[in-house]
Structure 1
Amino acid sequence: MKEGFRQSMAWLHTWTGLVVGWVLFFVFVTGTAGYVDDEITRWMQPERPLQVHVESVESVESVERGRMIEMALARLEQVATKAQSWTITLPHTPLRFRGDQGLEIAWEDLPERGHDYGRRGYEDLDARTGLLRQGIEPRETGGGTTLYRMHYALHYIPYDVAIYIVGVCTLLMLLAILSGVITHKKIFKDFFTFRPGKGQRSWLDAHNVVSVMALPFFLMITYSGLLFYTFDYMPAGAAVVYGTSDLQRRAMYDELYERDRREYLPARRPQADLEPLLQRAEATWQAPGVAALTIRQVKGEPARVDVQRMPGGRVNIYDPEVMSFDAVNGTPIVYDRQPNATITTLDTFYGLHEGLFADWWLRWLYLIAGLLGCAMIGTGLVLWTVKRRHQHRKRNDAAALFDAYGLRLVEVLNAGTLVGLPIAVAAYFWANRLLPVGMADRAAWEMHCLFLTWGWLFLYAALRPLKRAWLELAWMAVAAYALIPALNALTTDRHLGVTLAEGDWVLAGFDLSMFGLAALFAYAAMKIRRRWLKADATMAPSSKEALA
C-alpha cells in the first residue's frame, strides 16, 4: 500500500507537471520579469533622463523639507482646489525604481453624483524649485508592465478566461510540488547529488537540485497566487452570505476592505505648522522616517493630516503605519481601529508574492528564485521526453508509431517554449528599438512582434530535425540577447559607455544582464552539443535516424 501510494504520487507529479508545464513556463518567465518591470520599462523608454540621485529624507535639513512642503501645498492650491484629499510624497529612495523621482503630489477630486471615487491627479515637481518637471515625452511602450501582466492575464484572450486558465495551472503546479516532495523521499539527500553526463539520471538530478533549492519560494508563489482570486475561483461561499447581484458584491467588498463611504470636504492648507508634526512622528518611529503626508477632512469632523511611515522592509506595504494630527492645532488624533485579520493576511501574502517590500539584494534573490522556477519546469519537461524516448526505442508494436507522434509533439513544444519563448522576449526588446517611435499602436505592435516570433519558432522547431532545432534555437538565443546592447548603442545614446560612466546602474544593469543571458544560452548550447556528439559516437545508425 505504501509503495502503491508513492507510485500514485509519482504518476500525479508527472502528468500534472506535463499537461500544464508549457503554460507554467510562460507564467514563470513573465512573472520573473515582473520583479524588474520598472527597470525594463526604464530601458524601453530611453528618452527619459539618466538616473538622478535624490537626497533621502533623513539627509534633508528641516528647513529644506519645510520649504518642499510649502512648494507642494502652493501647487496643490492651484491645481486641486476641489480635491477631497491631497498627498505629498517626499523625495526618498523608493522601494522599487521609479525613475528620476522628485517631489510628488497627488490628489483625488470629490466624486461626482453616482460615482464612488473622484478623478485622480498626479504631478512630479522639482524638489529644489517646486516647478512642474517638463520632461521629454517618452515613446509608447508596454514596457515591463505588459510582461508582468501576462503572467496572470495572458494575452489576446478575455481577462476572466485568462485568470481561470492560470488558476487551474497554478493549482496543478501546487499538486505537482506536493506530490513531488512525497515521491522523492530522499529529496534533500538528492539535493547534494548531481551526476553529469548520465543522460536521464543527470536530468533528474538537475530537476531535484533546482526544485529543492527554492522549494519554499515555489510553495509560497503558487499558494499566494491562488489566494488573490479566491472569490473568482470559489464564489459559492460569498454568494450564499452576500448574494450574487452587483450591489450585494459591492457591499461585501465594502465590508471586507472597510471602504470609507463618508462624505469629504475639499482639502485645504493646514493651519498647523507641519514640520513639528513630522518630527514628532519620526521621534516615535525612530527609523525609518516619513514617506508622505495626506491632508483630508470628513464632513462633521476636524481636518486632519495623516503622516505615513516608510515601510522599511515591512512585508505588508499596503497598510503602512500612520500617525494622524489635527490640521488646525496639531494635536494627535487617535483612532480605535482594529486591523482586519483577513485583509492583513491577504496583503501579507500579496506582498510576499510581489516582493515590493524587498531591498535590492532580496529582489535579486526573488529574481534568481524565479529563474530557478523556469529551470525546474524546463528540466521536468525535458526529463519526460528523455525517459519516453528511451522507452520508445525498446518498442516495436503498433502503438509505437502513435507514441512516436506524441513524443515528437512534446519535443517540438519543449524546444519552441523552453528556448523559443526567451527568444520571443528578446524580440520584444528588439521591437522597442526598431519600430518607428511615432508609430500608431506601437505598444501593441511590440507585443505582436513577441508572439509572431514565438509562433515562427514553433514552426521552425517542427520542421527541423530535433537535435538541430535545439542547437540552432539555442544559438539564436545567444545572438538575440548578445546583440541587444549593440542595438541599444546604435539606436540611442543610453549605451554602456554612457550609463557606466554616469553610474546609472538601472540602464547599465539591463545591458549587462543581456550579456549574462547570452552567456547562459551559449553555455547550454555547448553542453548540449558536446553531449550529443558523444552520444552519436556510440549510437547505432538506426537509432540516429529515429531521433532525426
Structure 2
Amino acid sequence: MKDGFRQSMAWLHTWAGLLVCWVLFLVFVAGTASYFRDEISLWMKPELHAAAVTPVSNDIAAQNAIRMLQKEAADSPRWFITLPTQRNPELSVGWTSPPVKGEKGRGKFNNAELNPATGERLAEVRETRGGDFIYRLHYDLHYMPAKWARWIIGFCAMFMLVAIISGVITHKRIFKDFFTFRPKKGQRSWLDAHNAVAVLALPYHLMITYSGLVTLMFMYMPYGAQVAYNGDEKAFLAESFRQAEIKKPARQAATLAPLEPMIAQAEKHWDGGQIGRIVINNPGDANATIQITREREKKLSHLRQSMQFDGVSGTMISTMGDETSGAAESRGVLFGLHVAEFANPLIRTLFFLCGLAGCAMVGTGALLWAVKKRQGYAKVLAKGGRVGFGLRLVDGLNIGAIAGLPIALASYFWANRLLEVGLEKRSEAEIRWFFIAWGIAAILAQIRPNRRMWQLQLLVGGALFALLPVLNVFTTDSHLGVTLLQGKGPFAVAGFDLFVLGFGLMLIYAAKRLASKKLALKMNAKDKAIEIKPKDGEHATLWEAT
C-alpha cells in the first residue's frame, strides 16, 4: 500500500485478470455464443429445417408424440415429450426401456426426433451436440470431470469479479475514459478500447460474473444447508425445490386420459404460459401420472412451474413452483439473468453484444500486459535479441486463445457438415475436431509467437468462417440462396450464415491490418517509449510507435 490505494488496486487488477484471462476468454466466447444455442443447434441439424417452417399447436404435437410412444414404447415405465418452440422446432420424445430381469439399475434410455405435424420419425437426423456443446463447454470444459471443471471456472470467475471491482477503483475518471478513444495511436488505442468496452457493459460484466457464481452456489458453499439440515441433502432439496411424487405402478391396465384438457388447464393457470415438457409416469397403468412443465421463455426466474395430473382421470393433483421462498426465487432470477432464456430476440441480441464486449475486454487486457512487458526488452530487441521465456509464453497463449479459438469453433461447424451423417458417435467426432484444431493452433502459437502467426491464424479463422455459407450450398438445401433470397426456410438459419460471413470477413480484415501496419506488439529499434505519469492517483503506462 506504500504507493497508494489506487496503485495497489491497479496491481491487483492486472494480476487478477492476467492469471486466468485465457480461461475467461473461452468462458466469455462460449457463453456469448450460447445465447443463440437453439439457433446454432437448428443450423447443425439441416434435416429439421423443413419441419421448422410448418409450426403446429402444442395439442397436435403432443397427440402425435403420444401416438408414436404408444406404438413403439408401450411397455416403457416413463415417457418424455419435449414440445417444439419458436426457437427450437424439434419435437423430441424419449423413453426408458424396462430393466432387464436379473440386472440392477434402470433400463436403457431411447430418444427420437419427430415431425411435429405428422408424428413420423425424421429420417437420419445427424447426431450432434449442436449449441449445447458450446453451452456446456463454458462451465464444464468437456474432457475432465464436471466437478473439477466447475471448481476451475468458479475460481476464475472469482478472479474476474476481483478484477472488475479493482478496475473500477483504479480508474478514477472511468466515465471520461469511456468517451475517450484515440485511434491509430498504438497502445493508447488498445487501452482506450479496453476501457471503453469494459465501461460500456459494466453492469452486464458484474451481473454475469456474480450470477455465474450463484448458479453453482450449492457446490461452492454447501455448508449452510448441511448445518441447517444436519447433512440431509435430500431433505434440503425436497423443501427448496419441490418435486412431483411418482407413484409405484399398480400393475393394472388403464387407458391414458387425453392430454388436450390438461394442456389447456395448465396454460390457463399460467396466464397463457407455454408448455415446454410433458413427462408421463407409468403410462397405461392405473397409477399413471402426467407432469406438465412450463417453458422457461418469457419468465425471468429459471425455476420452472409445473402441474401434476392423474393419468387416468385427468384431474389435477398438485402444482409446483407457483409459490417459492424468497431465497429460492432470488437464486432463480439470478440464474435466469445468467442464461437469458426469458429474453425476446431484441434483449437476447443486447446480451449477445454485451458478451462480445466482454470478450473484447478480456482479449485487450491480455494484450496490454504483453505490450507493457515488451517495453522492457526494447534495447534487447533493438540489438537483435529475444524476449524472455515468460513474455514469449504469454504471447503464445494470447495467439492460441484469441486467434486460435475462432479456428476451433469454425472447425466444429465444418465437421458438422463434412462428417458422414450416419457415422457412429458422430457428435463426439465433431467435438474432437474442435479440440484438434485448437490444439494445433495453440502449439503453432508457442513455436512462433510473433506477428506473422497472428496474421496466419486470424486469416485461417476468418476464411473458415466466411466460407461456411459456401459450404452450406454444397451440403444442404437450406443455404442463403433459399433461406434469404427465396424466403424458404427458417430465418435463424439465414441469420447464422450471415453472422459467420460477417465475422469471418472481420477476422480477415484484422489479418490484413496486421500485414499493412506495425503494431506495438513488436517494437523495433525506432520505437520510442512514452511514459504517461499518473495524475490524481491514476496508474497508466503506455507506448506508441513513432
Report the counterpart of residue 472 of structure 2 in structure 1. Answer: 488
What SS does the aligned partner of 2:371 have? helix
Q: CA deviation at 1:279?
A: 6.1
Report the counterpart of residue 518 of structure 2 in structure 1. Answer: 532
What SS does the aligned partner of 1:252 have? helix
Report the counterpart of residue 206 of structure 1 in structure 2. Answer: 193
Report the counterpart of residue 460 of structure 2 in structure 1. Answer: 476
1:98 aligns with 2:82: no
Q: Which amino acid aligns with 1:135?
A: L
Q: CA deviation at 1:532?
A: 0.9
Query: How far apart, in 2, do the equivalents of 1:26 and 1:47 lie?
Result: 30
Q: CA deviation at 1:498?
A: 2.5
Report the counterpart of residue 373 of structure 1 in structure 2. Answer: 358
Q: Which amino acid aligns with 1:31?
A: G
Q: CA deviation at 1:167?
A: 1.2
- 1:431 is aligned, of 409, 415, 440, to 415
Query: How far apart, in 2, do the equivalents of 1:304 and 1:22 lie?
Result: 48
Report the counterpart of residue 131 of structure 2 in structure 1. Answer: 144
Q: Which amino acid aligns with 2:335?
A: Y
1:38 aligns with 2:23: no
Report the counterpart of residue 224 of structure 1 in structure 2. Answer: 211
Q: CA deviation at 1:318?
A: 3.0
Q: CA deviation at 1:90?
A: 6.5
Query: How far apart, in 2, do the equivalents of 1:68 and 1:437 lie?
Result: 26
After TM superposition, the structure 1 = structure 2 runs for residues 413-424 of structure 1, keeping only pairs within 5 Å, are 413-424=397-408
Query: How far apart, in 2, do the equivalents of 1:295 and 1:142 lie?
Result: 25
What SS does the aligned partner of 2:152 have? helix
- Residue 535 to residue 392, structure 1, CA distance change in 2 (3 Å): closer
Q: Which amino acid aligns with 2:50?
A: L
- Residue 325 to residue 254, structure 1, CA distance change in 2 (3 Å): closer
Q: CA deviation at 1:35?
A: 1.9
Q: CA deviation at 1:40?
A: 2.2
What SS does the aligned partner of 1:197 have? coil
Q: CA deviation at 1:230?
A: 2.0
- Residue 11 to residue 455, structure 1, CA distance change in 2 (3 Å): same
Mean alpha-carbon deviation: is it higher for 155-164 or for 510-519?
A: 155-164
Q: Which amino acid aligns with 1:363?
A: R
What SS does the aligned partner of 1:13 have? helix
1:498 aligns with 2:488: no
What SS does the aligned partner of 1:172 have? helix
Q: CA deviation at 1:276?
A: 6.9
1:391 aligns with 2:376: yes
Q: CA deviation at 1:326?
A: 11
Query: How far apart, in 1, do the equivalents of 2:298 and 2:213 lie?
Result: 24
Q: CA deviation at 1:200?
A: 1.9
Query: How far apart, in 1, do the equivalents of 2:306 and 2:379 lie?
Result: 66
Q: Which amino acid aligns with 1:257?
A: F
Query: How far apart, in 2, do the equivalents of 1:286 and 1:320 lie?
Result: 12
Q: Which amino acid aligns with 1:491?
A: T
After TM superposition, the structure 1 = structure 2 runs for residues 256-271 of structure 1, keeping only pairs within 5 Å, are 256-261=240-245, 263=247
Mean alpha-carbon deviation: is it higher for 205-214 or for 2-11?
A: 2-11
Given that 1:191 and 1:212 are in contact with CA atoms closer than 8 Å, whether structure 2 keeps it comes out as yes
1:348 aligns with 2:333: yes
Query: How far apart, in 2, do the equivalents of 1:277 and 1:262 lie?
Result: 18
Q: CA deviation at 1:174?
A: 0.8
- Residue 356 to residue 391, structure 1, CA distance change in 2 (3 Å): same
What SS does the aligned partner of 2:143 have? coil
Query: How far apart, in 1, do the equivalents of 2:197 and 2:512 lie?
Result: 21
Given that 1:420 and 1:473 are in contact with CA atoms closer than 8 Å, whether structure 2 keeps it comes out as yes
Query: How far apart, in 2, do the equivalents of 1:541 and 1:407 lie?
Result: 21
Given that 2:13 and 2:163 are in contact with CA atoms closer than 8 Å, whether structure 1 keeps it comes out as yes
Q: Which amino acid aligns with 1:98?
A: N
Mean alpha-carbon deviation: is it higher for 169-178 or for 498-507?
A: 498-507
Q: Which amino acid aligns with 1:527?
A: R
Q: CA deviation at 1:384?
A: 0.9
Q: Which amino acid aligns with 1:53?
A: V
Given that 1:84 and 1:264 are in contact with CA atoms closer than 8 Å, whether structure 2 keeps it comes out as no
- Residue 345 to residue 122, structure 1, CA distance change in 2 (3 Å): farther
- Residue 118 to residue 31, structure 1, CA distance change in 2 (3 Å): same
In structure 1, runs of 5+ residues without a counterpart are: none
Query: How far apart, in 2, do the equivalents of 1:463 and 1:55 lie?
Result: 52
What SS does the aligned partner of 1:426 have? helix
What SS does the aligned partner of 1:47 have? helix
Which of the two has greater helix per residue?
Answer: 1
What SS does the aligned partner of 2:48 have? coil
Q: CA deviation at 1:404?
A: 2.6
Q: CA deviation at 1:254?
A: 2.8
Q: CA deviation at 1:121?
A: 7.1
What SS does the aligned partner of 1:140 have? coil
After TM superposition, the structure 1 = structure 2 runs for residues 420-459 of structure 1, keeping only pairs within 5 Å, are 420-459=404-443
Report the counterpart of residue 347 of structure 2 in structure 1. Answer: 362
Q: CA deviation at 1:527?
A: 3.4
After TM superposition, the structure 1 = structure 2 runs for residues 122-133 of structure 1, keeping only pairs within 5 Å, are 132-133=119-120
Mean alpha-carbon deviation: is it higher for 329-338 or for 368-377?
A: 329-338
TM-score of the aligned structures, taking structure 1 as reference length: 0.79
Query: How far apart, in 2, do the equivalents of 1:85 and 1:443 lie?
Result: 26
Q: CA deviation at 1:325?
A: 9.7
Mean alpha-carbon deviation: is it higher for 141-150 or for 414-423?
A: 141-150
1:254 aligns with 2:242: no
Q: CA deviation at 1:24?
A: 0.7
Given that 2:125 and 2:421 are in contact with CA atoms closer than 8 Å, whether structure 1 keeps it comes out as no
What SS does the aligned partner of 2:53 have? coil
- 1:514 is aligned, of 500, 509, 523, to 500
What SS does the aligned partner of 1:318 have? coil
Given that 2:76 and 2:97 are in contact with CA atoms closer than 8 Å, whether structure 1 keeps it comes out as yes
TM-score of the aligned structures, taking structure 2 as reference length: 0.80
In structure 2, runs of 5+ residues without a counterpart are: 529-544
- Residue 111 to residue 367, structure 1, CA distance change in 2 (3 Å): farther
Q: CA deviation at 1:515?
A: 0.8
Query: How far apart, in 2, do the equivalents of 1:528 and 1:444 lie?
Result: 36
- Residue 317 to residue 162, structure 1, CA distance change in 2 (3 Å): closer
Query: How far apart, in 1, do the equivalents of 2:295 and 2:139 lie?
Result: 29
Given that 1:110 and 1:264 are in contact with CA atoms closer than 8 Å, whether structure 2 keeps it comes out as no
Query: How far apart, in 1, do the equivalents of 2:220 and 2:292 lie?
Result: 37
Report the counterpart of residue 25 of structure 1 in structure 2. Answer: 25
Q: CA deviation at 1:458?
A: 2.5
Report the counterpart of residue 16 of structure 1 in structure 2. Answer: 16
Q: Which amino acid aligns with 1:175?
A: V
Q: CA deviation at 1:184?
A: 0.9
1:409 aligns with 2:399: no
- Residue 329 to residue 444, structure 1, CA distance change in 2 (3 Å): closer
Number of residue equivalences: 520
What SS does the aligned partner of 2:377 have? helix
Query: How far apart, in 2, do the equivalents of 1:373 and 1:490 lie?
Result: 35
Given that 1:325 and 1:333 are in contact with CA atoms closer than 8 Å, whether structure 2 keeps it comes out as no
Residues 206-249 of structure 1 show CA distances to partners (whole Å, capped at 9, x for unaligned) of 001111111122111111111222232234434444456xxx33
Residues 115-147 of structure 1 show CA distances to partners (whole Å, capped at 9, x for unaligned) of 999987766665555xx3221122233322222
Report the counterpart of residue 165 of structure 2 in structure 1. Answer: 178
Q: CA deviation at 1:487?
A: 2.2
Percent identity among equivalent residues?
42
What SS does the aligned partner of 1:493 have? coil
